[in-house]
Amino acid sequence: MKQQVKKGVLEIFVLAILMQGDSYGYKIVNDLVQYIGITESTLYPILRRLEKANELNTYNVLFQGRNRKYYQITQIGKKHIDEFLLEWEDVRKIFDILVK
């Protein structure tokens, strides 16, 4: 269960970063590392999973002669965040009971 929770939270972290604007892999890692330890090897499977679930769109931009793949959150991804926040309220209530 611990692994599933962490996987789900990492997905939400990625989607939350992309709520701030489209981004590319290296920058997403740098934005996330402020909050949670993550590497590119952890990030890219998450990005592929979210893209497969239609929570992200991708497009390429030419940067210094090379294509850079950008990720953009979709309405489905935004809905995922909304559902997480609703569920989180229940988790927070349980947490509050446990720490009191």
What CATH number does the domain containing 64 carry? 1.10.10.10
Q: What parts of the chain have a pLDDT lower than 50?
A: 1
Residues in CB range of 15: below 8 A, 6 or more apart: 50, 55, 73, 77, 78, 80, 81
Dist CA 79 CA 63 (whole Å) = 31
pLDDT reported for residue 4: 55
pLDDT reported for residue 5: 57
* Residue-range definition of the domain harbouring residue 54: 2-99
User: For the chain, what is the domain count?
Assistant: 1
